[in-house]
Each structure stands twice: as structure tokens, then as C-alpha cells.
Structure 1
Amino acid sequence: MKPASHHLARCRRCSAPIVWCLTSANGKRQPVNAAPDATGNVAVMQGADGLLYVRTVTAARPEIRPGEWQAMPHHATCSAPPPRRSSAPTSRATQGVRPVPWQR
């Protein structure tokens, strides 16, 4: 099953066709490749409200149910991913701080 044409969008970085889905776990938006992929680790389905929902294919629930299609998250395949953010704290120069001796 493929997504409807009104769900299709393009990635801003690589221009690949994607669909925006809501995660079933917490309702956050997630880009997913528009083309079905048998090696993908997510299952996409269209809800009764017309929105696309995505869930992770896990060992506990590996089957693809009727009405779902298997796909790959776009973050895993984007040819121009955003730059990684460093988790290390940055060293800032302390400017404008006047060393003052402690008073008792």
C-alpha cells in the first residue's frame, strides 16, 4: 500500500519524497520515506481521521497488519542529514567579570 498523493511532501535537504506521520507512542511528527520498504523498521497506517500514524516494528509485534505498509524512517536514509550537535559543553570566555577578593 502506498500513501495518498495529498500526504506526499519533499525533504528540505535532499528533496526525497516523504510523508509526515504521527508516532503512536507519543504523537510526535516523524518523517518517513514515501516508498514502501521491506527492510524498514516502522509500519505506517492511515487512521480514521485521515492522518498517517507510524509505529515501530519490534520483536514483540513484528507482523504487518492489514492496512499498514512497512517503511523506513527518513532520518536513516537522508543523503543530506543535518549536522550533528555536540553534547560536550562549550567553553565560554568569561568576559566582563572582575576578579574581586572575598570579603569576610
Structure 2
Amino acid sequence: MKPARHQLTHCRRCQAPIIWCLTSANGRRQPVNFEPDDTGNVAVSNGADGVLYVRTVTAARPDIKPGEWQAMPHHATCKLPPPRRSGGGGQRTTSGVRPSPWQR
């Protein structure tokens, strides 16, 4: 099964065709490549409300059920991914440090 054309949009960075889905775990939006992919690690299904839902294919639930199709998350294949956020590994500056020890 394949997503409908009206669900198609394009990545803002690389202009690849994608669809937006809601994760079944926490309801967050996740971009998924438009074309089904047998090497993908997510399963996409069309909900009764017309919304696309995505779940991760895991060892506990490895099978693709009827009505689902296997796809690849777009973050894994984007040709122009956003820059990585730093973990704050640089020098930290302190501000608002108390000039004297705490008084009881």
C-alpha cells in the first residue's frame, strides 16, 4: 500500500518527497519518505481518522501487518540534514554566582 497523493509534501532542505506521520508511541510528528522501502525500519498505517501513523519495526513486533507499509524515516536519508546541535561541550561561563558562602 502507498500513501495518497494529497498527503505528499516536500522536505524544506532537500526537496525530497515526504509524508508527515504521527508516532504511535507519543503522538509526535515524524517525516517519512514518500516511497515505500523494504529496508526501512518503520511501518506506516492509515488511521480511521485519515491520519498517517508510524511505528518502529522492532524485534518484538517485526511483522508488517495488513494495511501497513514499510518505509524509511526521512531523517536517515536527507541529503541536507540540519546541523547537529552541540551538547554544550565547550567552556561554560558562570553567571549569578554568589560572591560569599551561604549563610545559615
Give me the TM-score of the superposition, normalised by structure 2.
0.87
Q: What is the match of residue 9 of structure 2? A: 9
Q: What is the match of residue 53 of structure 1? A: 53
Give me the TM-score of the superposition, normalised by structure 1.
0.87
Kindly tell me the number of residue pairs found equivalent between the two proteins.
100
Distance 1:46 1:89 in 2: 42
Displaced runs of 4 or more, over 4 A:
92-95
- Gaps in structure 2 of 5+ consecutive residues: none
- Larger radius of gyration between Structure 1 and Structure 2: 1
Taking only aligned residues, the RMSD between alpha carbons, in angstroms, comes to 2.1
Shift of 1:88: 2.0
The answer to which of 84-93 and 68-77 deviates more is 84-93
Q: What is the match of residue 27 of structure 2? A: 27
Q: What is the match of residue 81 of structure 1? A: 81
Percent of aligned positions that are identical: 72
- Gaps in structure 1 of 5+ consecutive residues: none
Shift of 1:92: 6.1
